[in-house]
Amino acid sequence: MTKTLLLGASLMFVAGLPLTSLAAQSLTDRVIDNAAQLEQKAIGWRHDIHQHPELGNQETRTAALIAEHLRQLGMTVETGVGTTGVVAMLKGGKPGPVVALRADMDALPVAENTGLAYASAVKQEYLGKSMPVMHACGHDAHVAILMAVAENLAAVREELPGSVKFIFQPAEEGPSDYVYDGERYFGARLMVEEGVLENPAVDAIFGLHVTAAAPTGVIGYRSGPTMASSGDLHITVTGKQTHGAQPWNGVDPIVASAQIITGLQTVVSRRTDIMPAPAVVTIGTIEGGTRHNIIPDKVKMTGTVRTFDDAVQKEVNAQITQMAEHTAQASGAQAEVKIIENYATTVNEPALTARMLPTLQRVTDGRTFTSPLVTGSEDFSYFAQKVPGLFFFLGVTSADNMGKAAPNHSPEFLVDDKALLTGIKALSALTTDYLQAAD
């Protein structure tokens, strides 16, 4: 945005307020009030991004849209961070801390069934296969909100006692171009490895996620562990192939696998102390055999492990490995267990959460709630491992749709556009309140 346009926007804002009222307003008051002027822009951006979704590590169009907007606001912009990510710095007019704000950009391999005028008809390559693509988790809303926040804060940059780092992250849902093996990082973890929280060093980071489980404009928050860690579980059971009519001549990995699956149900319910934090172990796929009368030599299973505590995670992983290996051995088979960490536990720093809660209550007129633990996972966790973080949930379901709204990741998932304004207010006010408290 040019200086002329910025001046024009400022004059329009001043013209709408008595000078005495303007003088009495705090910086946070103004960014909250000014958010309404950006609401329609944000809605337009969301609809455009929703209609043109892109999978993890393929967000080139989205990244270009973001980068151009940030450059017009006069920011220093870096592209290609963490594969396709965009990072921009807004330097305030006064010295102070650095706040980071994060939005994820990627969509999901889901065929949209919303009937919206701006519904997606896009297809992209997902792990080598052409798939329909949809913003079924609301990342289009995250991007649109943060683009509006960038414009909101840029308009008051000279009064900011510190700086703001905008992080538009790819591949939160995982890469679409390769299968993660635990070695080649993606998304937030890759951006952290590349130094996104350094030069200048970030003092605190804020992020949000839309949810269909809460009414429009309501904010859910939680102090401490908030979202679960996630590990991909891979178990390969090896037996000895033989004719199905003569099982005594071989070792049946299918029977051994069935016993392992049954045994795994006791890992959490009978063998893990869940008082520190709950845990979940689920087997999602099982594959083995080629013909009805052949006992195969191998069976492969995959699943997920979720916990809210690093110590519990290690204990559960050890119990799974022991259970699988010993159960297979009892059948004369062998089990190989591999657990790959996809996401760490998302932990909201308690002191930061307590400090910023009044801001969240203010922008929602008190419409906040303490979120339950969420067994879904988020790679915002890797940012929050390095610096104090606060990650909260923004309700996006209209009042008349509560109780029947499709959940996140559904082909029918909907975002009420009216929720965007609350998101803009929240991230803008969190930034100014944090910076001013340190001034």
The catalytic residue positions are 106, 172
Give the number of other Cβ atoms within 10 Å of residue 316's Cβ: 24
Cα–Cα dist 388/2, whole Å:
34
10 Å Cβ neighbour count for 268? 20
CA 392 to chain centroid: 11
Secondary structure class of 326 (helix, strand, coil) = helix
Name the token pair of 130: 């052409």
Rounded CA separation 190/171 (Å): 10
Residues 60 and 8: their CA atoms lie apart, in Å, by: 32
Q: Rounded distance, CA 141 to CA 147, Å?
A: 10
Largest CA distance in the chain: 93
**Residues 164, 99: contact at Cβ < 8 Å?**
yes
For residues 39 and 151, give the distance between their C-alpha atoms in angstroms, rounded to a whole number: 11
The C-alpha atoms of residue 12 and residue 32 are separated, in whole angstroms, by 16
Q: Is 107 left (phi over 0), alpha (psi -120 to 50) or beta?
A: beta
For residue 250, give every residue at least 6 positions away whose Cβ sits within 8 Å of its Cβ, in sequence order, or none.
Answer: 239, 240, 241, 242, 243, 295
CA distances from 97 to 9, 110, 312 (A): 27, 40, 35
In three state form, how does the secondary structure of 395-413 look? EEECHHHCCCCCCCCCCCC
Q: Tell me, what amino acid is at 375?
A: T
Residue 295's DSSP bridge partners are 242
Q: Of 218, 226, 223, 224, which Cα lies nearest the Cα of 368?
A: 218
